[in-house]
Amino acid sequence: MNKIIIFIFVLITAVSGQFSLTLTWDPNPADDNVEFYRIYRSVGNMESFVKIDSTVHPDTLYCDSDSMMYNTIYAYFLDAINFAGLYSDHSDTVWITVLDDTSLPAVLSIFDLILTADYSVKIIWRTESEINNSDWYIQRRQDGYLFEDIVSVPGQGSTSTATDYEYIDSQVVSGLTYIYRLKSVDYNGAEGFFPEKSITIDVLNINRYDSLDELVYYPNPALNYVNLKVPEAGKYNILIYNVLGQEVFSGQYWSFAGASIQLHIGSLPSGAYIIKLIFENRSKARRLIIQK
C-alpha cells in the first residue's frame, strides 16, 4: 500500500482562548481498497506515540481538540488499513507548536512545503495582515542540528491586505529530512517565530507532484464568496469544514483548466474554515477565513 501524505492546519477557536488542530491528508489511490485510517499522536516529544482515533475512508479530515495546550509540541502520523487487513507504511511525521504570543508582527494563515519536480523545496506562506514587519527569514535544520537562516525576504511593513510569499530552496539532498520555520523581524529588531514543518526529499516519489498544489483561491479573508482557480479541466467536489471538523458546505462543479469556480458562502458565520477540493482520486485542502 502507498504511503500517506499528511498536511496540518492550525485553527484557533474563539472559545475561551482554546484551539484545535485539524489534520487533512491525501487519500491512498482507490485500487488500494482502503477501509480506514488510524491517527497517532505524541505530546511533548517525538518518541511516545499513541493511537488517538480512526476515520473511515474516504474521510480524510480529523479535528484534534482534546485538552490542547499552547507552547506544547504536538506530533502526528497516520497509516491506512485495507479490507484485506494489509497496513500501509505510516505517513511522514508532522509536528507543530502553537505559540501563545499575540505580539507576533503577522497573522500567518498558510505555511506549506512542496517537493518540486527538480528535487527542490518550494516554501509558500500567506499572511492575512502584518504590523511593522520588516523582514522574513526562512530557517532550516536537520534532526539534531540548530536552525540556520537560509534567506531573507522583505516584509510588507504594516498592511491589512493578504500577501502571498514563496521561495525555492534548491540546496537539499535526496533522502534527507529537512525542518523549516519562519522568523519575522519588526522595525525595532524584535523577532517572532512561527510553527515548524518538515519534508523528506524522497526522489522515488517525485511523481507525487500534483497540479492541485497550484490551486489559487481568493479573497481570503472572504465575506460572501470565494473564487477557486483550478489547474485542470473536469469535475470537482468541494467541501468546507468548520473548526470542529463538521461539514458546512458541499457542491459539485465542472470547470475548464485555469477557470475560476465561485463559491457563495454568505450564509456561513465569521471564523476559520478548511476548504477541501477533490478531483479524481486526489484532494487538496486550504485554510479560509470568513470575516463579516
pLDDT at 7 over 70: no
210 vs 206: CA distance, rounded Å? 10
Examine the fold and report which residue of 97, 132, 150 is the final residue of a domain before the chain moves on: 97
- We report the CATH number of the domain holding residue 23 as 2.60.40.10
pLDDT in tens, 45-58: 666 889 999 988 87
Do 195 and 169 share a structural domain?
yes
Question: Domain total for the chain?
Answer: 3
Alpha-carbon Rg for the chain, nearest whole angstrom, is 19
Do 272 and 230 share a structural domain?
yes
Looking at residues 239-260, what average pLDDT do you find? 87
- Taking all residues of the chain, what is their mean pLDDT, rounded to a whole number? 81
Do 115 and 201 share a structural domain?
yes
Do 197 and 124 share a structural domain?
yes
pTM for the structure as a whole: 0.48
Q: Which three cell numbers stand for residue 276?
A: 477541501
Looking at residues 230-236, what average pLDDT do you find? 87
Looking at residues 74-102, what average pLDDT do you find? 78
Do 135 and 73 share a structural domain?
no
Looking at residues 113-137, what average pLDDT do you find? 87
Peptide bond into 27 cis (omega under 30): no
Looking at residues 235-263, what average pLDDT do you find? 89
Do 126 and 176 share a structural domain?
yes
26 vs 143: CA distance, rounded Å? 25
Looking at residues 193-222, what average pLDDT do you find? 74
Give percent of the chain above pLDDT 90: 24
Query: Which residues partner with 186 through β-bridges?
Result: 133
Between strands 225-229 and 216-218, the pairing is: antiparallel
Do 154 and 133 share a structural domain?
yes
Give the pLDDT score at 15.
Answer: 44
- Which of 42-46, 225-229, 274-278 is most confident? 225-229
Do 19 and 78 share a structural domain?
yes
Do 187 and 128 share a structural domain?
yes
- Which of 13-17, 21-25, 162-166 is most confident? 162-166
Give percent of the chain above pLDDT 70: 84
Q: Which three cell numbers stand for residue 241?
A: 469544514
Give the pLDDT score at 127.
Answer: 86
pLDDT at 11 over 60: no
Do 65 and 9 share a structural domain?
yes
The candidate with the shortest Cα–Cα distance to 32, out of 80, 77, 91, is: 80
> Phi-psi region for residue 16, left (φ > 0), alpha (ψ -120 to 50) or beta?
left
Q: What is the band of 83 on the pLDDT scale with cuts at 50, 70, 90?
A: confident
**Which residue range(s) make up the domain with 244?**
211-290
pLDDT in tens, 162-195: 888 999 999 998 888 899 999 999 888 888 888 7
Give the pLDDT score at 31.
Answer: 54
Give the pLDDT score at 102.
Answer: 52
Examine the fold and report which residue of 97, 128, 151 is the final residue of a domain before the chain moves on: 97
What does the H/E/C string look like for the chain? Answer: CCCCEEEEEEEECCCCCCEEEEEEEECCCHHHCEEEEEEEEEECCCCCCEEEEEEECCCCEEEECCCCCCCCEEEEEEEEEECCCCECCCCCCEEEECCCCCCCCEEEEEEEEEECCCCCEEEEEEEEEEEEEEEEEEEEECCCCCCEEEEEEEEEEEECCCEEEEEEECCCCCCCEEEEEEEEEECCCCEEECCCEEEECCHHHHHHCCHHHHCEEECCCECCEEEEECCCCEEEEEEEECCCCCEEEEEEEEECCCCEEEEECCCCCCEEEEEEEEECCEEEEEEEEECC
Beginning with the edge strand found earlier in the chain, give each strand of the sheet holding 282-290 in spatial order.
Answer: 247-255, 234-241, 271-279, 282-290
Which residue type sits at 85? Answer: G
Give the pLDDT score at 14.
Answer: 40
Examine the fold and report which residue of 206, 227, 251 is the final residue of a domain before the chain moves on: 206
Do 185 and 117 share a structural domain?
yes
Do 132 and 59 share a structural domain?
no
Residue 138 near residue 182, CB atoms below 8 Å:
yes
